[in-house]
Amino acid sequence: MTGSDHDSLAGGLAALAVDAPAGLLDRVVARWVRVDAPIGAVYVASTDHGVAYLRTGTGEEEFVGAFRRRFGRPLLPADRPPAGLIPALRTGRRADLRLDLRGLSSFESDVLHAAMTIPRGEMRPYSWVAREIGRPRAVRAVGTALGNNPVPLLIPCHRVIRADGAIGQYVFGARAKETLLRAEDVNLEEVGDLAARNVHFVASDTTGVVCLPTCRDARRITTAHRRDFAVMSRAVAAGYRPCEHCRPAALS
């Protein structure tokens, strides 16, 4: 928001015949802050409904301009970050942090809500997201929706990868995606090695459960009791049941 925009808005409110209702300004404008995140400084915009936009950038003007082009709403500096933002960026867990996802299509909203269910330290293929939302053929559209994520880091689209085990694209670049995944203790080398051997599902012959490789339950399987599968149907045919945590049946 330019200085003249700010002055015009403030002047308009000051010219009201009666005092403006409490909180009126925050229902008209959004607020921005610059805070530190695992990939460096980020700019974050919030409305009275919650955090609406998060981006890296070279400065305030770039961020403010991008926000106004996307949302068509004035943006003013905030006195402090929204409650819960700093812990959410540090831990990857949103807790009580509110998000403002208005303006998304129903498909985009479904995709992002599916991405929200992926736990810290785990990854899911784009095709998993597509099947989770009941649109198994919309894999490419899922990628587009994730690329349009208004609040990366807070909605963990970095945890969605390609079916071949490659980490794939990311709004902040592949290097940032790798940094985030490694910070969550994802063993990218192991995932890559398994994918190179056409292993996309791992099962335990002690529990009879088959998982995706980064599932928290898969990481408990010892080498002696692990059985590898290229496709889910073969694991099911061998008598293994899908993990209820990572839900690999979404890929069958």
Q: What is the pLDDT of residues 47-71, one digit of tens each?
A: 999 999 999 977 899 999 999 999 9
Q: What is the mean pLDDT of residues 175-179?
A: 96
3-state class (DSSP) for residue 249 = helix
pLDDT single digits (tens) 112-121? 999 999 999 9
- How confident is residue 21, by pLDDT bands cut at 50, 70 and 90? low
Position 25 scores a pLDDT of 52
- How confident is residue 7, by pLDDT bands cut at 50, 70 and 90? very low
Between residues 59 and 99, the one the model is more confident about: 99
pTM for the whole structure: 0.87
The share of the chain scoring above pLDDT 90, in percent, equals 79
157 an active-site residue? yes
pLDDT single digits (tens) 102-144? 999 999 999 999 999 999 999 999 999 999 999 999 999 999 9
Rounded Cα gap, residues 188 and 194, in angstroms: 10
Rounded Cα gap, residues 115 and 117, in angstroms: 5
Cα–Cα distances (Å) from 59 to 34, 75, 153, 167, 204, in that order, read: 9, 14, 19, 28, 50
Go through the domains of the chain in sequence order and give each one's CATH number: 26-91 (3.30.160.70), 104-196 (1.10.10.10), 198-252 (3.40.10.10)
Inter-residue contact 94 to 50 (CB < 8 Å): no
DSSP string, 104-120: --HHHHHHHHHHHTSPT
Of residues 157, 211, 215, 246, which has the active-site annotation?
157
Count of alpha carbons within 13 angstroms of residue 77, beta-carbon side: 7
